[in-house]
Amino acid sequence: MYIELRDINKSFGDFQASRSVSFGIARGTLAALLGPSGSGKTTILRMIAGLETPDSGDIFINARRVNDLAPSVRGIGFVFQNYALFRYMTVFDNIAFGLRVKKEKAAAIRARVEELLELIGLEDFGKRHPAQLSGGQKQRVAFARALAPNPGLLLLDEPFAAIDAKVRRELRVWLRDMIRRLGITSIFVTHDQDEAIEVADEIIVTNKGRVEQLGAPPDLYREPATPFVADFIGESAPVENIAAFRGFEANVQGTPGAVRPEFLKVFAVGDVIQYPNSVEDAVVDDVAFRGAWLELGLVLRGIRLTARYSLEKQPPRIGDFVKVLVYRLYAFEDGKVSLRRNAELNASRHGYSYSI
């Protein structure tokens, strides 16, 4: 593990922002800290950087305990949420700052800054001031400034938050490729799961100061460890009582859970209905075009679900009744998540398989 946190606690006054946070990230990994606003992501990042001191617990970077090390000797590059570029310095001076502080030779500094300017594609912008740059350009300058002293670890706090949606997508692909190319261990904070899934090798999901789960995006998606993760990742619809669905009557009444769009099959008019005992009627209350598919909002006995619907088929209209099969769902019991299958599908294992 290149970076490791062990049982970190941190309070601000009587508010506990980190609760026994532990995780480790291998060298060269690009990890995302993903969680809702206020879940303690920035706090974790700032403690790693040394801008905040944990109340208890240990932080290791490259097998060395860094709790008592000054921020500047931890070998960290930090990209702040709003970039925090030095407003009164040119782009060149911004990037050179960390090298000048280290008293490197002027020629070496110039070479390094020019190399980085080329890397971020802003060769001709060295003389500009931050106010004369677009959001995306500022972000790249902040990235270059953090990289200039060759840090072992790069921390980025919501690097795309202040950038509009279109540039954002481009920029995150750019940043991911750049980080992969440089092979630098990186942690970035985000509350956008698409961003985390698209960019990160590993995702650390935080909630209320705790780490809920750590894993590769597909693993988190397929096997959420806690109800929070099951709800938070994917477009899960929360369900108060899973035993209310046909085919799930055997579950304990009142067990909560969640249903993902992929767990549903919506039959088009004329489709062969496969499991007649488990099929239910639902009302369409929303139809949205999502590019490659239609997203349907369904109300099934008062429960609101989201389903995907192929563009190939005749689309239903709002108010139409459709036949729906719930063939799987998540059940939440004792803070754990388990995947349950529809009883009728379980009974007849032959026949059809519904893989996601």
Partner 1 sequence: MSGKGKNAPRGASLWVPRLFIGISALFAAVMLILPLAVVLTEAFSSGLQVFLRAVSDIYARKALFLTLEATAASVFLNTVFGLAAAWVVTRYSFAGKGVLTTLIDIPFAVSPVIAGMIFILTFGRLSWLHPVLEEHGIRIVFATPGIILATVFVTIPFVAREVIPVLEARGTDEEQAAVLMGAGFFTIFRRVTFPHIRWALLYSVILCAARAMGEFGAVSVVSGHLRGKTNTLPLHVEILYSEYQFTAAFAVSSLLVAGAVIILTARNIVEFAARKEDSLNVH
Ligand X SMILES: Nc1ncnc2c1ncn2[C@@H]1O[C@H](COP(=O)(O)OP(=O)(O)OP(=O)(O)O)[C@@H](O)[C@H]1O
* Binding partner selected for residue 88 from Mg ion, ligand X, partner 1, none, CB under the kind-specific 5 to 8 Å limit: partner 1
Within 64-83, which residues bind Mg ion (CB under 5 A)?
none
User: Closer CB to ligand X, residue 17 or residue 230?
Assistant: 17
CA distance 230 to 249: 21
Give 273's contacts (C-beta < 8 A, 6+ positions apart).
267, 279, 323
User: Closer CB to ligand X, residue 40 or residue 261?
Assistant: 40
- In whole angstroms, how close is the CB of 191 to ligand X at the nearest point? 5
Binding mask 163-192 toward ligand X (x if CB under 6 A, else -) reads ----------------------------x-
- In whole angstroms, how close is the CB of 243 to Mg ion at the nearest point? 39
DSSP bridge pairs for 30: 186
- In whole angstroms, how close is the CB of 191 to Mg ion at the nearest point? 8
What does residue 88 show for φ and ψ, rounded to 5 degrees? Answer: -95, 15
Give the largest Cα separation in the chain, rounded: 78
CA distance 353 to 143: 47
Residues near Mg ion (CB under 5 A), total = 1
- Element counts in the chain: helices (H) and strands (E): 9, 19
- In whole angstroms, how close is the CB of 76 to partner 1 at the nearest point? 7
CA distance 269 to 6: 56
- In whole angstroms, how close is the CB of 137 to partner 1 at the nearest point? 15
* Binding partner selected for residue 138 from ligand X, Mg ion, partner 1, none, CB under the kind-specific 5 to 8 Å limit: none
Q: Answer yes or no whether residue 190 interacts with Mg ion by CB under 5 A.
A: no
Within 34-63, which residues bind ligand X (CB under 6 A)?
35, 37-43
CA distance 315 to 300: 18
The DSSP 8-state label assigned to residue 351 in this structure reads: S
Token look-up 């009728």 returns 344
User: Closer CB to ligand X, residue 37 or residue 314?
Assistant: 37
CA distance 235 to 241: 18
Residues contributing to the site for ligand X (CB under 6 A): 12, 15, 17, 35, 37-43, 191
Residue ranges in contact with Mg ion by CB under 5 A: 42
